């Protein structure tokens, strides 16, 4: 009876240990998650989609490396994820700014043409 009870307790403990998958908790990994999440909130589809895809891939690779006990590789991949996310955000901001500038320039040109047209009509 004692052997059966001991076996049951050991098996329950082993199953519980298997049910909880190890998760990477390094500071860089968490920062990578935050960076990817922040980048996903921006309209990166137009300007930084490729970089965001790379960031997601690096973050997933970091998680896998961490689970496989490759802490150094996991850290490097997490940092690459942060850099790729930051690049996606920067490219998005630059693209949005350039598009806004172009729109403002077109509006300015239209206003100048209208003013010239009005000057010709009034003379």
CB atoms within 10 A of CB 106: 10
CB 40 within 8 A of CB 55: no
Query: Residue 1 domain-assigned?
Result: no
Low-confidence ranges of the chain (pLDDT < 70): 1-24, 122-123
Cα dihedral 82, 48, 42, 30, rounded to 10, equals -10
State the pLDDT at residue 2: 56
Query: Residue 33 domain-assigned?
Result: yes
Convert the pLDDT of each residue in 71-104 to its tens digit: 999 999 999 999 999 999 999 999 889 888 989 9
Query: Residue 37 domain-assigned?
Result: yes
- Domain coverage including residue 27: 23-95
What secondary structure letter does DSSP report for 68?
A: T
What would you measure as the largest C-alpha separation in the chain, in angstroms?
112
Residue 89 burial (C-beta neighbours within 10 Å; 0-12, 13-18, 19+): buried
Query: Residue 105 domain-assigned?
Result: no
What domain count does the chain have?
1
């Amino acid at each position: 009876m004692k052997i059966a009870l001991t076996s049951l307790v050991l098996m329950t403990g082993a199953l519980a240990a298997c049910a909880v998958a190890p998760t990477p908790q390094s500071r860089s990994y968490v920062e990578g998650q935050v960076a990817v999440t922040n980048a996903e909130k921006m309209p990166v589809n137009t300007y930084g989609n490729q970089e965001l895809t790379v960031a997601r891939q690096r973050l997933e690779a970091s998680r896998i490396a961490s689970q496989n006990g490759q802490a150094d590789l996991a850290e490097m991949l997490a940092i690459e994820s942060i850099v790729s996310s930051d690049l996606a955000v920067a490219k998005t901001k630059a693209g949005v700014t350039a598009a806004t500038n172009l729109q403002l320039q077109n509006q300015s040109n239209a206003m100048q043409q209208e003013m010239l047209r009005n000057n010709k009509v009034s003379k």
